Amino acid sequence: MPAKPAPIKKKLVKKVENAPAPAPEPEAAPAPAPEPTPEASPVVETPPAESAAPAEGAPADAEAVAPAEDATPAVEGEATAAPPAEGGEAAPADAEAAEVPEPEEPKAPSPPPPPPKEPTSAPLDLFVEDKNDTSVTIFWSQPEVIGPSGLDGYIIEVCQDGTEDWKASNEDLQKSCRYIIKNQTTGDRLKIRVVAVNAGGRSPPVTLPEAVVVKEVADRPKVRMPRFLRQRYVANVGDKINLTIPFTGKPKPVVSWTKNGQPLEKSRVNIRSTERDSILFIRVAERDDSGVYEMSVKVDDFEDKATLTLQIVELPGPPASIKIVDTWGFNVALEWTPPKDNGNTEITGYTIQKADKKTGDWFTVMEHYHRLNATISDLVMGNTYKFRAFSENKCGISEEAAVTKDEAKIVKTGIEYKAPEYQQHDFSEAPKFTTSLANRATTVGYSTKLLCSVRGYPKPKIEWLKNQMVIGDDPKFRQICVQGICSLEIRKPVSFDGGVYTCRAKNNHGEVMVSCKLEVRQPVVVEAEKK
């Protein structure tokens, strides 16, 4: 029965395909195999035989077995491949034997090993942010050195003071740098530390320098009244009032409210208080809600109070009455009284309107008028008028008006004007100096000026004297008097010009004088200039 070489050839080809790249040196031969017969020499010379050489790192025993199995048919006389042709190419026995495997590309060098993973440095700045009877809030900063491994989170550990039995307070890693240690017993002394964790493990811990006592921090109560509520708070009738007033204090203060010294009416005003603020809420404001509200916060024996003045306002009523006082020419004098209801706020003014009896149309003649009487002018002769007045406050103008019962008729009469007589005023006045002369000192050769001011009616006559001698028209002196300002200019004085100068003013009602002393000094000569 003839042998079936095809399976053996397939196995040989598969071996070659799966074999590693050929070794660079043919000397690295596989383990010795049975020596083939001369008939099997073509099989040994085929390329698959070369690829059977063991590659680097491959086991030698497995490679040594393969050639031995492949060579067995050659010993029995079954040709596995044709002898090489003249060109050096071996003729394949069938299509499968003709497949020659291509040498594989050399493997890339293996990357260097990754750097060792290291933990971060210790967290920084651990301190207590807050505490109460059952919890402690801590805060810290992230480590200065984190490294390539990153940061996975933090573990918060606590133990009783005097022991080293550290236990983790958080089950999962804490991501943020703030943590509340809850469910503690009041009065316990806790040691607290924080550890950063990453792929490299735990960092060195950061520990609070002293143990923390689980206890409420006492803080005196204080009401923080907002700035806009420190003065009177005004709202309209029907508005919704919602005022929030913050406060501080530990433990939680007891909050109470009063209105005008009495307890609040719960059906009208709602109070909602939290640990930080208190809210005064009125769904629909009424005028009766106006008053002085007092808020009190109390902790033990400490108490703080703040007052809030609430004013609910609305439109005012009309003036109580209005009447026509007098009519003359084209004018009518009116008077009215303030409204009985001012809308819970002061009246800011009045609006006056007129209507002609023929048309009945109302026209505004005055707005925002503050007085309780007025004169309406420029009326049309022959017409009959009625008048009405509205009240105004900060909410607006009253819905109704007060109307005059009487009518004012502008009669067609002649107008005669008589000028009033005025008594002539006597402005006569004796001279009087309003500004006196002042003593002066000047230097030889430098002009100087003496000044004074005088009033009087009729205009007084001015004379200047030197050492009680009238100066007159001496060209060395220049005398000027304009609108009561009198001046005497002395041009380039010399030592002789020194003395007492007098200004004399006189008119029909009297005479007055004022004097001063003028000193004329020699110029100072420097010693160097003398030489």
Same domain, 169 and 244: no
The pLDDT, as a whole number, for residue 286 is 92
Residue 35 within any structural domain of the chain: yes
The answer to whether the predicted template modeling score (pTM) of the entire model surpasses 0.85 is no
Between CA 23 and CA 431 the distance in angstroms is 139
Same domain, 208 and 227: no
Of 313, 342, 371, the last residue of a domain is: 313
Give the pLDDT mean for 286-306. Answer: 89
Give the pLDDT mean for 243-267. Answer: 90
Same domain, 132 and 95: no
Residue 10 within any structural domain of the chain: yes
Same domain, 186 and 244: no
Q: Tell me the CB-side half-sphere exposure of residue 358, using CA atoms within 13 A.
A: 5
Burial of 147 (0-12, 13-18, 19+ CB in 10 A): middle
Give the pLDDT mean for 330-335. Answer: 93
Between CA 354 and CA 392 the distance in angstroms is 18
Give the pLDDT mean for 433-459. Answer: 92
Between CA 44 and CA 397 the distance in angstroms is 122
Residue 150 within any structural domain of the chain: yes
CA distances from 268 to 108, 112, 243, 284, 343 (A): 86, 80, 15, 9, 20
Same domain, 280 and 180: no
Same domain, 181 and 253: no
Residue 420 within any structural domain of the chain: no
CB 43: neighbour CB atoms within 10 A? Answer: 23
Residue 114 within any structural domain of the chain: no
Is pLDDT above 60 for 60?
A: no
Same domain, 390 and 464: no
Q: Are 429 and 512 in contact (CB under 8 A)?
A: no
Is pLDDT above 70 for 14?
A: no
Between CA 326 and CA 267 the distance in angstroms is 54
Residue 113 within any structural domain of the chain: no
Q: Can you give the CATH number for the domain in which 265 is found?
A: 2.60.40.10
Question: Tens digit of pLDDT for each residue in 472-519?
Answer: 888 889 999 999 999 999 999 998 989 999 999 999 999 999 999 999
Between CA 197 and CA 123 the distance in angstroms is 10
CB 123: neighbour CB atoms within 10 A? Answer: 22
The pLDDT, as a whole number, for residue 117 is 77
Tell me the one-letter amino acid at 485: I
Q: How large is the C-alpha radius of gyration of the chain?
A: 60
| Minimum mean pLDDT range among 3-17, 294-308, 334-348 | 3-17
Is pLDDT above 90 for 524?
A: no
CA distances from 372 to 349, 385, 391, 400, 404 (A): 9, 19, 11, 17, 14
Q: Are 281 and 239 in contact (CB under 8 A)?
A: no
Enter the tokens of residue 476. 């060395």
Enter the tokens of residue 311. 């004013």
SS3 content of the chain, % helix, strand, coil (to 5): 10, 40, 50
Pairing of β 167-168 and β 153-160: antiparallel
Burial of 159 (0-12, 13-18, 19+ CB in 10 A): middle
Cα–Cα nearest to 387, from 369, 400, 398, 402: 402
Of 77, 106, 135, the last residue of a domain is: 106
Question: Tens digit of pLDDT for each residue in 157-199?
Answer: 999 998 999 999 998 899 999 999 998 888 889 999 999 999 8
CB 229: neighbour CB atoms within 10 A? Answer: 18
Average pLDDT in the chain: 80
523: confidence class by pLDDT, cuts 50, 70, 90: confident
Is pLDDT above 70 for 64?
A: no
CA distances from 100 to 8, 83, 85, 432 (A): 16, 15, 16, 141
Cα–Cα nearest to 477, from 502, 457, 449: 449
Of 270, 286, 313, the last residue of a domain is: 313
The pLDDT, as a whole number, for residue 200 is 85
283: confidence class by pLDDT, cuts 50, 70, 90: very high
Cis link prior to 251 (omega < 30° from 0)?
A: yes
Same domain, 87 and 159: no
Same domain, 302 and 377: no
Residue 514 within any structural domain of the chain: yes
Q: Map tokens 């790192």 to a residue.
A: 57
Same domain, 346 and 280: no
The pLDDT, as a whole number, for residue 5 is 45
Residue 93 within any structural domain of the chain: yes
Question: Tens digit of pLDDT for each residue in 396-425?
Answer: 999 999 999 999 998 876 667 788 888 888
Same domain, 31 and 93: yes
CB 480: neighbour CB atoms within 10 A? Answer: 12
Q: Tell me the CB-side half-sphere exposure of residue 329, using CA atoms within 13 A.
A: 9
Phi, psi of 20 (to 5 degrees): -70, 175
DSSP string, 477-495: EEEEEETTEEEEEE-S--G
527: confidence class by pLDDT, cuts 50, 70, 90: low
Residues 53/56/62/67 CA torsion (nearest 10 deg): 0
- According to the 3-state scheme, what is the secondary structure of 172-190? CCECCCEEEECCCCCCCEE
Between CA 244 and CA 228 the distance in angstroms is 11
Is pLDDT above 70 for 288?
A: yes
Residue 443: domain span: 429-521
Same domain, 309 and 247: yes
- Report the domain count for the chain: 5
